């Protein structure tokens, strides 16, 4: 909706002072896009490395457990 002020600026702003409004800057700046893209790529690469290590740890624990548990061979674990 829209609002309309039915008063003069002197009545709205006491003392008759004019208020200056700062110009609105554009939220998208082409200069800042390049560092952001490289930062996103670094974050993605770091995340991928962390996830890869996590999966490797899980897989290593599965292999160790399969060696410890009797009647559990690698052939059975591969088929489910």
Assigned domain for 79 exists = no
Assigned domain for 77 exists = no
Assigned domain for 61 exists = yes
Assigned domain for 8 exists = no
Q: Structural domain of residue 61, as residue ranges?
A: 38-68
Q: Tell me the pLDDT band of 52, cut-offs 50, 70 and 90.
A: very high
| pLDDT > 70 fraction of the chain, expressed in percent and rounded | 46
Average pLDDT over residues 70-76: 67
Q: Tell me the pLDDT band of 74, cut-offs 50, 70 and 90.
A: low
**38 contacts 45 by C-beta, under 8 angstroms:** no
Greatest Cα pair distance, the chain, in angstroms, is 91
Average pLDDT over residues 23-35: 63
Number of domains the chain is built from: 1
Assigned domain for 31 exists = no
**5 contacts 12 by C-beta, under 8 angstroms:** yes
């Amino acid at each position: 909706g829209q609002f309309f002020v039915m008063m003069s600026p002197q009545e709205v702003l006491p003392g008759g002072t004019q208020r200056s409004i700062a110009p609105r800057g554009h939220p998208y700046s082409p200069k800042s896009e390049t560092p952001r893209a490289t930062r996103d790529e670094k974050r993605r690469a770091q995340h991928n490395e962390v996830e890869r290590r996590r999966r490797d740890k899980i897989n290593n624990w599965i292999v160790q457990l399969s060696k410890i548990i009797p009647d559990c061979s690698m052939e059975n674990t591969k088929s489910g």
